[in-house]
Amino acid sequence: MVANQIFGLLTVMLFLLLNACTPQPTEGVNQDAKITPVQREMMLATLDSLPQGAELSLAIIDDGSIRFGGYRNNSRTPKEVQNQTVLFEIGSITKVFTGSIFAGMIQEAKVSLNQNLSSILGLNTNLPITLKELATHTSGMPRVPPALAEVSLENPYRDFDSLSLVKYLQDELVLDTVPGVVSAYSNLGMGTLGFALSRVEEKPFMDLLEYYVFKPCEMHHSGVEHEHAQSLVIGINDAGDPVSQWDMGALQGAGAVISSALEMAQFASAQFVPDYTHFELARTPHFTVSEQFSCGLGWGLVQVDEHLWHWHNGGTGGYTSSLIVDVDRKKAVVLLSNISALESLSTKITSLAAEMMHTL
């Protein structure tokens, strides 16, 4: 009993220290600065190829400032808008948050890198998969459960609930590769990691996001699923037609977060704050794919010339997004859009984000 009381007191003290003494990621940053004329022309050129109703929201972090650019296609005419606080589905960028949660729980000794998945979920079958393998896409799991590959892409994960996930893992999962050998991108794997971490904490995934990511980064308006649906920009396809938002079911850790360019910029800025050691652990390479690419916990680490980019794209049925951070130079790009990731125009968004990094 005494040991539990002491542990509880230490936990409270640690929480207070983290929230009272740690510098906030955007303290002293000018958030009103505009993007440069070159960056503006790049955005307009991209918008010119997008349909009516397309919207782009950009945040550039450089030289201690955050600069914003927002544009919307109205009647095929680009209009500048102040949309840095408007919400978009960020899709798979959520995986970076899931990796950051995992890193925080590792530091608090609640889980370990090489902890077995079956032991957490209480599966009757002993899957030879560790949490690190889920976080680095080396679990051998398929990209999605085969049953989901056959459903409508309008909202494919909606009915894949916790019972469906546990049943699939226990009775139906067939691994594509031996775990720990090959990195092959898996929404199922990262979604399962988020589910497992929630099981450990006995809390909803949103609560973990709040504690390990949103509160430290002052992301007060970010969330999951459709609690913020009324504030969302409407997602569209390549023809400009509205499309359905996505519910992620039990796989929230793979792509459920809704956020804005401002709050994503605050998360990117937090990567430059040494006090956030769990973010640093998440950014650390844990599996090497090649000389140019390795996997952190949720992050992709890309060597571009002499620069190391921490990167992740995101996409759902009505949104495409990109996050690129250069920690050494303290530069970053956040680009959010309401362009469907399921069609060809999505490549315009991801390409623009990389081009923006080259302007810094």
Distance in angstroms (rounded) separating the CA atoms of residues 183 and 133: 9
Global confidence as pTM: 0.91
Distance in angstroms (rounded) separating the CA atoms of residues 50 and 215: 35
Name the DSSP class of 305: T
Q: Across the beta sheet with 257-259, what order do the strands follow?
A: 88-89, 257-259, 223-224
Name the DSSP class of 36: P
Go through the chain and tell me how many residues it has: 360
What is the pLDDT at residue 338? 98
> In 3-state terms, what secondary structure has residue 5?
helix
- With beta carbons less than 8 A apart as the criterion, state whether 256 and 94 touch: yes
Class of domain 34-357: alpha beta
What is the pLDDT at residue 9? 33
Residues 6+ apart with CB under 8 A from 246: 89, 91, 155, 156, 157, 158, 255, 316, 317, 318
Q: Which amino acid is at 358?
A: H
List per-residue pLDDT tens for the chain, 360 residues long. Answer: 333 433 333 333 333 333 333 445 555 455 567 899 999 999 999 999 999 999 999 999 997 899 999 999 987 789 999 999 999 999 999 999 999 999 999 999 999 999 999 999 999 888 999 999 999 999 999 999 988 877 788 999 999 999 999 999 999 999 999 999 999 999 999 999 999 999 999 999 999 999 999 999 999 999 996 665 677 999 999 999 999 999 999 999 999 999 999 999 999 999 999 999 999 999 999 999 999 999 999 999 999 999 999 999 999 999 999 999 999 999 999 999 999 999 999 999 999 999 999 999
Residue extents of the structural domains in the chain? 34-357
Residues 6+ apart with CB under 8 A from 126: 116, 118
* Residues 101-125 as b or e (16 or more Cβ within 10 Å = b): bbbbbbeeeebebebebbebbebee
Distance in angstroms (rounded) separating the CA atoms of residues 358 and 56: 19
What is the pLDDT at residue 49? 94
